[in-house]
Amino acid sequence: MNNTMGIDVSKDTLDVHRLIDGRHKQFLNSKIGHAQLIKWIELQPDPLVSFEATGAYHRLLERGLGNRPIPFVKVNPKQARRFARASGKLAKTDRVDCAMLAKMGAALHLVPKPLTAENLYDLRDLLCARRALIKDRTAAKARNATVTHALLKGQLAKRLRHIECDIEKIDTAMLALAHQDRQMRERLDILSSIPGIGMTTALMILVDMPEIGGLDGKQVASLAGLAPLSCM
């Protein structure tokens, strides 16, 4: 596909390279910037957008592209750097990176994979919040093991109870959302039936890798970063 566009995502900006003519544009990484970017992309025939997964910075962009819908591929950052090194591109700037991502999408014939659930974005938001709470719980427990003052002990105990309550509410909300989608519900039942995989773990797997069930074993291993790769 010649009309591939690479987007380098940073905290404040989105740098875009259009492969067909080498044009570069920059948009704000905000709701206004996303609207302008999507409007510009939709003017192009048969676009394919390629960008790196960058945690919280790419989530709104991914939601905006998916809602239109505009075909996109979310690239593993390690794979992107390997492609850049193989192409002889050692410099790393926003402008260079977005051009490299566009070339990678075209050269490797990257295929966009549709989301398996309409509410997947909400599930990802909930899972991100859950992981933040797990970190808070770990920190609170570590702190509780070292403090001796009764006031601090009481505050930490109260904080831990609130965290556990919040985690329970998030788990309930995630499960309810997952059950609203027939395909996700079926895959959740299959995964949770495997010995050693509970419902919560199965749900996190499906949210992180919604492609499971539509890929073969080797593709899933590659997606998860577990497949052996040759290192040059």
Q: Which of 46, 71, 21, 200 is nearest to 123 (CA)?
A: 200
> Cα(48)–Cα(46) distance, rounded to whole angstroms?
7
> Cα(229)–Cα(34) distance, rounded to whole angstroms?
35
Residue 6 Ramachandran class (φ > 0 left, ψ -120 to 50 alpha, else beta): beta
pTM over 0.85: no
Per-position pLDDT tens, the chain of length 232: 468 999 999 999 999 999 999 999 999 999 999 999 999 999 888 899 999 988 778 888 888 888 888 899 888 888 888 898 888 877 778 889 999 999 999 998 888 866 555 688 889 889 999 999 999 999 999 999 999 999 999 999 999 999 999 999 999 999 999 998 888 889 899 999 999 999 999 999 988 887 776 666 665 565 556 656 555 4
Whether the ω angle into residue 69 lies within 30 degrees of 0, i.e. cis, is yes
